Amino acid sequence: MRRATAVTSSPVRGRPLVSIGMPVYNCEKTLAAAVQSILHQTYENWELLVMEDGSTDGTLAVARSFSDPRIRVCSNESHKGIVERLNEAVARSRGEYFARMDGDDVSYPERLERQVSYLERHPEIDLLGCGMVMFKDDGVAFGGRPAPQTHEQICRAPANGFHLAHATLMGPTSWFQAHPYDENIPRAEDQVLLLRSYETSRFACLGEILYGCREDCLLLRKTLVSRYGFSKGALREFCRRRKYITAATAVLKQIAKAHVDIFAVVTGLDYHVLTHRALPLPSRDIQRWTEVWRQVQEEGVQKAAGPKKSAQAGMPVPQRVGAKAGGT
């Protein structure tokens, strides 16, 4: 059954408003391209909530440089962290649907249209992700992320985590309001949210690649904090359900993965680990990503540098590199 429709300030009659939550911190160099990718959406009935988290660079100035009235910049010049900013974005949302987006990533032009269409046709779905391409800082794509499409496939092994990329999610705003992010779980708020809700909610994922995620290297501290956060959440949730063996299994798996991460960073093999965990991309996906990247980069450079500076000079062209198929 479709959830009750939220009251919106929709400028497009008959089309539900989508609120996009984008927490940003020190994203001065990447934010313009991220925002441009939202401005390029074929689905136009959206509002973008840029949740500026007390950046120490020019992120706030870049966010405020856009004149589109659908973009709302929220900042109180304090650094609270992504989890608190996400809950704040949900609370400020006016749309029927809430979508995630990061300030250093890129949404394909068809992303919102595809996800809204699916959710309208499948009211039983609470969270919907999509396929994702992984790219380096220079725009070179090096692989994709696994994107199981059904709830059963996504939730096949909860102790291992969920193959549902956080930044690609869209769902009814009412669902996010009923399932706030846990502010006591650092760097694993998405996985713990899925862990808390998968038994009473329904997830799905579009197989089509509609999102580009920037991932140039393993940041050891953030990765270890994330693994600790998931272990903490898994221990709590599985013990609450009296699944003690599953809880122990989840923690041991995160410890093993942490050792791999440490070894990769110490030996300089972190990029090889990233490509090993990624899936190879067919040429058509590489070509499509190249088109999306060029568009947002050219306009993003123009926005950041001004109209007199050529946006074409030195523009990197993404190309395929040897990504290996691997697990998470």
Q: What is the CATH number of the domain that holds 3?
A: 3.90.550.10
Residue 130 has φ and ψ, to the nearest 5°, of -155, 170
Terminal-to-terminal C-alpha distance of the chain: 34
What is the number of structural domains in the chain? 1
Q: What percent of the chain has pLDDT over 90?
A: 73
The whole model's pTM is what? Answer: 0.86
Nearest to 142 by CA among 153, 134, 130, 151: 134
Q: What is the pLDDT of residues 30-87, one digit of tens each?
A: 999 999 999 999 999 999 999 999 999 999 999 999 999 999 999 988 999 999 999 9
In a domain, residue 312? The reply is no
Give the domain range for residue 133. Answer: 1-306+320-328
Contact 51, 74 (CB under 8 A): yes
- The CA distance from 326 to 188, in Å, is 21
The pLDDT assigned to 12 comes to 63
What distances in angstroms separate CA 87 from CA 4, 18, 310, one per listed residue? 20, 16, 39
Q: What is residue 188's DSSP assignment?
A: -
Least confident residue range of 75-79, 231-235, 308-312? 308-312
Residue 298 confidence class, pLDDT cut points 50, 70, 90: confident
In a domain, residue 246? The reply is yes
The pLDDT assigned to 217 comes to 72
In a domain, residue 11? The reply is yes
Q: Is the pLDDT of residue 312 over 80?
A: no
The pLDDT assigned to 191 comes to 96
In a domain, residue 150? The reply is yes
Q: What percent of the chain has pLDDT over 70?
A: 84
Q: Is 208 buried (19+), middle (13-18) or exposed (0-12) by CB count in 10 A?
A: middle
In a domain, residue 221? The reply is yes
Q: Is the pLDDT of residue 276 over 90?
A: no
Bridging pattern class, strands 127-135 and 141-144? antiparallel
The answer for residues whose C-beta is within 8 angstroms of residue 81's C-beta and 6 or more apart is: 53, 183, 186
Would you state the structure tokens that stand for residue 243, as one six-digit string?
């699944």
List beta partners, residue 146.
Answer: none
The pLDDT assigned to 77 comes to 82
**CA dihedral (209, 215, 218, 219) positive or negative:** negative
Residue 216 has φ and ψ, to the nearest 5°, of -90, -25
Q: What is residue 131's DSSP assignment?
A: E
Cα dihedral 186, 191, 192, 193, rounded to 10, equals 110
Residue 316 confidence class, pLDDT cut points 50, 70, 90: very low
Q: What is the pLDDT of residues 104-140, one digit of tens each?
A: 999 999 999 999 999 999 999 999 999 999 999 999 9
In a domain, residue 313? The reply is no
In a domain, residue 290? The reply is yes
In a domain, residue 30? The reply is yes
